[in-house]
Amino acid sequence: MNNTKNIAQEYFEILNQQQFIDSELDYSIFKKQIPFLNQMAKVKNSGLTVFDLHKKEHIFNSYNLSNFFGYDLNKIDTNYYNSKIHPDDFIALMKIGTFIIQHSYKLPISERKNYKLQNEYRILNSENKYIRIIEQFQILELDRFGNFWLALSTMDISPNQEKYNGVRSQWINLINGNIKVVKPFNLVNSNLSKRENEILSFVVDGLLSKEISEKLSISLHTVNTHRQNILKKLGANSSIEAIKYARELNLV
């Protein structure tokens, strides 16, 4: 429980790095978009929400969230949404969100609306059963200074309802179609030990386990154990994937 609170706290601390000026936020821009959002929800048969990163609250919820997901529209707020998410998936989503926001802050202002984050995870439906949904986030509005202001979320029931215990996530460039698969469980803290980091560096350099064993004067079994731990912590299926993720996380 404390771990969940710490992860959520870190997420909102990063959100709070943005500095908004109330007088510079023209909410009439958003009000003009409400008819379009309602029509979009009707045509796409998707649940839509708009999250205000200044107020830290949902300022729009489409009428069909009740039909599709069993949400009580009179109770919907951030805590209500979060309470529907599977606890394990919530932790993963907070980590993913933290990672993506950190990277998004580094983008030039001109590119900040060019990406969307797609997450597939589990929520409780009206029958109190977990179902998998696909949620896509993209920035609807920036403020005058380039801060991420309003975020649009589109929610659909996933066609993939197999018993997969976890989150699938992609960061998609809307301009060129490039997709970056985001591993949810070790994005913020990989927790690699000093020895594991050392061995990972040798793996990146192309050394075999036997060569690493000789360099570090440790047994081949110990090297292979460390390598398996590295794969597990990075959520990788192979050394090639581990190297890829480690580079994305600036670990090597």
Q: Is the pTM of this model over 0.95?
A: no
Strand intervals (E) in the chain: 47-52, 57-61, 115-124, 130-142, 148-157, 168-173, 179-181
Identify the pLDDT of residue 181: 75
Same domain as 231, residue 106: no
> In DSSP terms, which residues pair with 205 in a beta bridge?
none
CATH code assigned at 57: 3.30.450.20
Are residues 163 and 203 part of one domain? Answer: no
Is 176 in the same domain as 199? no
For 105-116, what is each residue's pLDDT tens digit? 999 999 999 999
* pLDDT for the residue 221: 95
User: 205 and 124 share a domain?
Assistant: no
Q: With 80 as the cut, is the pLDDT of residue 4 above it? A: no
Domain that holds residue 236: 194-248
Is residue 166 predicted with pLDDT exceeding 90? no
186 vs 53, higher pLDDT = 53
Both tokens assigned to 2: 């404390």
Residue 187 lies in a domain: no
Question: Does residue 153 sit in the same domain as residue 65?
Answer: yes
Look at residue 81 and give its three-state secondary structure.
helix
Q: What is the pLDDT of residue 191?
A: 67
For residues 50 and 85, membership in a common domain is answered with yes
Percent of the chain with pLDDT over 70: 92
189 pLDDT above the threshold of 50: no
